[in-house]
Homo-oligomer: A and B are copies of this chain.
């Protein structure tokens, strides 16, 4: 299996990304194609022992930065590492594309170079979300700020396929985010989507509230990209706030400081459970190729983890399963696969 890795994407690129790529090539037995500026990538690669591994470099002269406008940059930077990498997937020269870069940029480049899967109205950004009962899958996280019921139905289908094939959750419970548990609670979008989700043959469990997401009451959490983004960002913010307040209070008390030192391994373990990066990043679903977008702050381990996720997605034939799911519900558009 060949996986293209965007060597230029992410806060710690290219060093941590190249290191993660080498690690993944060794641990998962895949070929990892590093795409990026050869002059930047080559010296990083030279630091590692790559004997027996397949870690070729493919040159791309441009880089899509984290703060660049997705749609504009996708069109202007035709020789970006993202564009070159995704074109390799498109031509069948690689099986999947992995980046730690600008997720909006990845979406725009994917739409331009890979196109949508047949029948998909809107691709979506999705990610694993830690819950007390293990990982859940959240879709959409920001690709589509304004949605229609048909989009959410397709998100549910894609998320369900991904949860089953990549996360290994059988008959995943699908919930829709709402401002109340009871059916009938919700904004117009939620209320109009509910009948579609009930009829589509998925394991639909109804409305989930914000508090139900971390409680693990559903495996696939469907929402519009605006709300999904708010959920993920609020969670990040609340976790940071709790840790900051806790630290402040502990530091103000010498005895508590001593106690916190003793409890440190437990804190570290808890942090690991709650850490997104452990789960290997987000997936761009609905485009005509496997695209995994890791967290910008990914270290080498998280990069390797994202590559592992890409491998599982390829092996699980996620694209075929999404195509089949979309066809089965008749929610496909009457048009050819976009390119």
Q: Interface of A with B (CB < 8 Å)?
A: 130-132, 142, 145-146, 177-180, 185-188, 190, 209-215, 224-227, 229-242, 244-246, 248-250, 252-253, 255-256, 258-267, 269-270, 273-274
Chain B residues in 8 Å Cβ range of A229: 179-180, 209-210
Chain B residues in 8 Å Cβ range of A236: 210-211
Interchain CB contact under 8 A, A262 and B255 = yes
Alpha-carbon distance between A259 and B145 when the two chains are bound, in angstroms: 45
Q: Given A226-B179, A266-B253, answer yes or no on A214-B232 (Cβ-Cβ < 8 Å).
A: no
CB nearest to A254 among chain B residues = B262
CB within 8 A of A211: which of B211, B233, B255?
B233
Interchain CB contact under 8 A, A179 and B142 = yes
Interchain CB contact under 8 A, B249 and A232 = no
Interchain CB contact under 8 A, A146 and B210 = no
CB nearest to A104 among chain B residues = B180
Chain B residues in 8 Å Cβ range of A131: 241
Closest 5 CB pairs of A and B: A259-B262, A210-B233, A211-B237, A210-B234, A259-B263
Q: How far is the CB of A68 from chain B (nearest CB, A)?
A: 11
Chain B residues in 8 Å Cβ range of A231: 210, 230, 234
Alpha-carbon distance between A237 and B241 when the two chains are bound, in angstroms: 14
CB nearest to A251 among chain B residues = B266
Alpha-carbon distance between A273 and B248 when the two chains are bound, in angstroms: 11
Q: List 7 A-B contacts (CB under 8 A).
A: A211-B240, A238-B238, A246-B266, A253-B265, A253-B266, A259-B260, A260-B262
Q: Given A231-B230, A259-B260, answer yes or no on A238-B239 (Cβ-Cβ < 8 Å).
A: yes
Alpha-carbon distance between A252 and B238 when the two chains are bound, in angstroms: 25
Chain B residues in 8 Å Cβ range of A212: 233, 237
Q: Given A214-B238, A236-B210, answer yes or no on A262-B266 (Cβ-Cβ < 8 Å).
A: no
Chain B residues in 8 Å Cβ range of A241: 130-132, 214-215, 274
Chain B residues in 8 Å Cβ range of A265: 249, 253, 255-256
Interchain CB contact under 8 A, A240 and B214 = yes
Alpha-carbon distance between A178 and B226 when the two chains are bound, in angstroms: 7
Chain B residues in 8 Å Cβ range of A211: 233-234, 236-237, 240
